[in-house]
């Protein structure tokens, strides 16, 4: 491959995305996004160190205060990485996981006061149990918490499970985030049933808001709505796989997979409807039209959308002084193109975009650790890598 071909290949997905987005009515006018690279931090100024290998379909990681790393494997194992070595024995205590298709052991997050209370939160696809609503043989996304004692989870509590159970094996969502007030939010995919994203009587295609113990806040937006699930915070989502709190405003930013095209970056606010499937910038996988509309009254527009899809997964706001010129910006992972995207944020706008670490691998999770470095989970290679400045 010659040099010109290599450069074209590296930037083709972004260049095509820029051309298509320019042609999409209204996009550039409302988000002011451009493909101009931000040159304050060059990729050559950064280093990528492998901190864990030998993982099988890793999904998410959490950096413990002592520097150890907890990593979920979608097959149902929770792994411990200590001093750069993957412990051969998985941590015990994980409940039964429905490991089919996109289901399995998913996200992991430490309670904001982890040093005091020791709570670890984990999302997973939970198989239908007796008495639960939905399809026999089906499953849906659940949230649990537990404490780590040596190599065992203790004090295990299932805090929430999405209703109803569904046999389909796609679109579980599963991202966990705590806001500055201590509420815990969980993203839920629509499980391949588009219409249920708009149905307030079902948890599919929603973001839910809970107290840290799983109880439902009385000021949730649909608590007093007849027939609505009281845990719902927002609705009209497809498959949200990135969720993070803005470091200044405290508002949730979320991204979700579109169908063929139409991945979205959204600002998630109380009671709002994000439109799926009534509005979308994508089409179905058989090229059929899902909706002719990209906007409707009472439905939110994304901050940006990606077309073609990048399959966004994982996201973090940069707050570390180690990346001073990126502070306040977003780093987003791409499963499809195996790269990271740096999005320059100004207010509620994305003003610039650039691809960094092209072909790093299928990015499943991106997060900034307490040490200020950026940790990236790579699904296909079974690795966790750490990005930090060279000097």
Q: Which residues are catalytic?
A: 171
Residue 228 neighbours by CB distance under 10 Å: 17
Q: Please state, in angstroms and rounded to a whole number, the distance separating the CA atoms of residues 148 and 24.
A: 49
In degrees, rounded to 5, the angle at the alpha carbon of residue 182 between the alpha carbons of residues 230 and 218 is 25
Residues 6+ apart with CB under 8 A from 150: none
| Helix H or strand E segment including 12 | helix 3-23
If DSSP codes are grouped into helix, strand and coil, which group holds residue 158?
Answer: strand
CA distances for 118 relative to 107, 156, 262, 342, 360, angstroms: 17, 12, 39, 33, 33
Q: Which stretches does DSSP call E strand in 203-308?
A: 206-210, 232-235, 240-245, 252-256, 263-268, 304-306
In the block, residue with structure tokens 């040490």: 371
CA distances for 28 relative to 21, 108, 112, 131, angstroms: 7, 35, 37, 49
Q: Please state, in angstroms and rounded to a whole number, the distance separating the CA atoms of residues 269 and 370.
A: 26
Q: Please state, in angstroms and rounded to a whole number, the distance separating the CA atoms of residues 362 and 61.
A: 15
Structure tokens at 205: 């295609």
CA Rg value for the chain: 20
If DSSP codes are grouped into helix, strand and coil, which group holds residue 300?
Answer: coil
Residues 6+ apart with CB under 8 A from 218: none
Question: Do 153 and 78 touch, CB atoms closer than 8 A?
Answer: yes
């Amino acid at each position: 491959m010659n040099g010109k071909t290599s450069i074209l290949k590296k930037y083709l997905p972004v260049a095509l995305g820029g051309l298509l987005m320019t042609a999409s009515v209204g996009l550039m006018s409302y988000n002011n996004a451009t493909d101009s690279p931000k040159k304050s931090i060059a990729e050559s100024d950064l280093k990528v160190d492998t901190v864990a290998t030998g993982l099988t379909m890793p999904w998410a990681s959490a950096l413990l205060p002592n520097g150890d790393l907890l990593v979920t494997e979608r097959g149902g194992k929770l792994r411990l990485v200590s001093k750069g070595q993957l412990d051969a024995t998985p941590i015990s205590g994980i409940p039964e996981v429905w490991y089919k298709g996109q289901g399995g052991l998913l996200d992991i997050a430490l309670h904001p006061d982890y040093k005091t209370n020791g709570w670890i939160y984990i999302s997973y696809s939970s198989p239908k149990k007796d008495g639960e609503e939905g399809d026999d043989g089906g499953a849906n996304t659940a949230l649990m918490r537990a404490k780590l004692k040596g190599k065992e989870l203790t004090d295990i509590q299932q805090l929430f499970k999405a209703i109803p159970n569904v046999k389909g094996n796609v679109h579980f969502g599963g991202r966990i985030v705590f806001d500055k007030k201590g509420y815990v939010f969980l993203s839920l995919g629509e499980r391949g049933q588009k219409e249920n994203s708009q149905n307030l009587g079902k948890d599919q295609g929603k973001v839910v808001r809970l107290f840290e113990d799983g109880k439902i806040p009385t000021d949730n937006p649909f608590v007093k709505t007849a027939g609505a699930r009281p845990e719902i915070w927002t609705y009209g989502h497809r498959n949200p796989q990135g969720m993070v709190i803005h470091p200044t405003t405290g508002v949730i930013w979320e991204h979700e997979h579109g169908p063929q095209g139409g991945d979205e970056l959204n600002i998630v606010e109380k009671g709002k409807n994000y439109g799926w499937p009534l509005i979308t910038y994508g089409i179905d996988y058989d090229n059929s039209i899902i909706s002719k509309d990209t906007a409707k009254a009472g439905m939110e527009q994304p901050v940006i959308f990606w077309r073609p899809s990048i399959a966004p997964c994982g996201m973090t706001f940069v707050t570390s002084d180690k990346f001073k010129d990126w502070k306040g910006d977003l780093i987003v992972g791409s499963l499809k193109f195996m790269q990271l995207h740096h999005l320059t944020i100004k207010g509620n706008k994305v003003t610039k975009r650039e691809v960094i670490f092209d072909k790093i691998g299928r990015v499943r999770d991106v997060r900034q650790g307490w040490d200020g470095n950026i940790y990236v989970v790579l699904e296909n290679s079974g690795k966790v890598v750490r990005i930090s400045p060279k000097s």
